[in-house]
Chains A and B, each alone.
Chain A
Amino acid sequence: MTVDASTVREMVADLERQHPGIRDRICEESGEIRRFVNVFVGDEDIRFLQGLDTQIPPGTQVSIIPAVAGGR
């Protein structure tokens, strides 16, 4: 899907506008991304960029992926 946003924060707001209720699934009450939700701008996890303030250049693919628990 396509959103109108230049940062991750704006992306979340636009997602919520298009699909009310989704914000609460991916964000804490504080607005921060939930611990077991990963947001990738391009191939990079936004936790290692600028978090919610990470810039999204026009046309960039953003992936929202639940961190699947696994491991021995």
Chain B
Amino acid sequence: MGAILGLRCRECGREYPAEPIHVCEYCFAPLEVVYDYDEIRSVISPKSISEGPRSIWRYADLLPGGEKRVDLGAGLTPLVPAPRLGAELGLHDLWIKNDTLNPTHSFKDRVVSVALTVARDFGFNTVACASTGNLATAVAAHAAHAGMSAYIFIPADLERGKIVATAVYGPQLVAVQGTYDDVNRLCSEIAGQFEWAFVNVNIRPYYAEGSKSLAFEIAEQLGWRAPDHVIVPIASGSLLTKIRRGLDELVKVGLLDGHQARISGAQAEGCSPVATAFKAGEDHVRPVKPNTIAKSLAIGNPADGYYAIKAARESGGVMESVTDEEIIDGISLLARTEGVFTETAGGVTIATLRKLAERGDVKPDERTVALITGDGLKTIEALVDRAGPTMTIPPSLDAFAAQLESKN
């Protein structure tokens, strides 16, 4: 299981051995993986990492999971400067972390690669998940690669592209007539009945650790320096929490001298329980019924909402939400200015970034990284009315010349 010491309750601190469990049996709080940072510090270095695999597993010392990895090549995606988008938003040092370039085109490949590696270490042959699409696709692909059986539970009204892109890998794909929160609740019950590795239930403490690799890569790609500000989309809140934990760990093991990165969160107005609580100055997230085109972020009852709020607040970050219209504008803006086509979740990130920049919450000279977590081809439905041919002509040169004339 790598260099991990075990699991620890995030609230009461009780310790547990590394097993497929996710909740403290005493106080019901989530469990988190514990590492021996002194030991890791003695073996890890920029050199050891740069000599590692070209995937998230170059950071294996800071991830759970043994040597027999389920690795489709997730991670090490480009971190690119975004000067044209920056100019539109008045930001002078803006970067895009382009996680659309993962094996199944979303950041979920990171968490799933870790989850399936750990599941296999535990001896499971069957993996399962509740998902709104990106996780479903990532689990299906990695299970196929590893020769494991997969049961995947999705809301029945998911985008067709996500259903096809999951079904093609041959899992048992169960369409549940309900919202994601209904699917999630059902899976908690199923997980109690069947001896399966549910990546986001009993394997969740390990699975969630995979998200830290985004923070590790950003620091490595900036020459082992932390950014000043990271803009993170929020669904369950886990990613935002893990970005902070990842940067903190790099300090603990001596790869960063320190960091003052502000972590800010982005939500869709049609499902913004975390941003709403943050803005009201509260800790507790009041569940909502989602209604937004950003389906990959539509968790009405986010498990890590409390921790995301805490991480944003303690780091000096903020949270904001944006309308569906702003999300679509965000997708178009990013594509037009930087040549990166993102799904609706990335539209949420860009639209929120725009709002925060206008307000001065993202400062012009801050080195800011926006996380683009999924590919636009996953949610083309969102843009079909907005993106199409700019002219339609018969196959004749005269017709083209006439159209061009009338346009200019």
Q: A residues touching B (Cβ–Cβ < 8 Å)?
A: 25, 34-37, 45, 47-48, 66-72
Contacts and interface: CB of A to CB of B under 8 A. Distances in A.
22 contacts: A35-B11, A35-B306, A36-B23, A36-B29, A36-B30, A47-B284, A48-B286, A68-B185, A69-B23, A69-B304, A70-B130, A70-B184, A70-B185, A70-B200, A70-B236, A71-B236, A71-B304, A72-B130, A72-B131, A72-B132, A72-B134, A72-B235
Give me the 8 closest cross-chain CB pairs, A-B, nearest first: A71-B236, A66-B28, A71-B303, A36-B28, A69-B30, A36-B29, A69-B303, A70-B184
A66 B235 contact: no
A4 to B, nearest CB: 26
Interface of B: 11, 22-24, 26-30, 108, 129-132, 134-135, 184-185, 187-188, 200-201, 204, 235-236, 238, 284, 286, 296, 299, 301-304, 306
Given A34-B28, A35-B306, A37-B28, A69 B204 contact: yes
B299 A72 contact: yes
A71 to B, nearest CB: 3
Contact of B188 (A47, A48, A70): A70
Contacts of A25: 26-27
Contacts of A35: 11, 29, 306
Contacts of B185: 68, 70
Contacts of A70: 130, 184-185, 187-188, 200-201, 204, 236, 303
Contacts of B129: 72
Contacts of A45: 286
Contacts of B286: 45, 47-48
A36 B235 CA distance: 18
A65 to B, nearest CB: 9
A34 B27 CA distance: 7
A8 B336 CA distance: 56
Classify the interface of chain B: helix, strand, loop or mixed.
Answer: loop
A25 B29 CA distance: 11
Contacts of B27: 25, 34, 36-37
Contacts of B301: 71
A30 B135 CA distance: 39
Contact of B299 (A47, A48, A71): A71
Choose among A35, A66, A69 the residue with the greatest number of B CB atoms under 10 Å from its CB: A69
Contact of B200 (A36, A47, A72): A72
A34 to B, nearest CB: 5
A60 B303 CA distance: 28
A21 to B, nearest CB: 11
Contacts of A66: 23, 28
Given A67-B28, A71-B200, A72-B134, A36 B236 contact: no
A26 to B, nearest CB: 8
B28 A72 contact: no
Most chain B beta-carbon neighbours within 10 Å: one of A35, A47, A69, A70: A70
A72 B115 CA distance: 12
B24, B29, B134, B236 interface centre (most CB from chain A within 10 Å): B29
Contacts of B11: 34-36
Central interface residue in B27, B130, B185, by most chain A CB within 10 Å:
B27
Contact of A68 (B23, B131, B236, B284): B23
Contact of B184 (A36, A47, A48, A71): A71
B191 to A, nearest CB: 9
B136 to A, nearest CB: 9
A18 B293 CA distance: 49
A69 B22 contact: yes
Contacts of A67: 28, 303
A69 B203 CA distance: 11
Nearest to A45: B286
A49 to B, nearest CB: 12
A68 B184 CA distance: 10
A48 B302 CA distance: 17
A33 B23 CA distance: 17
A72 B304 contact: no
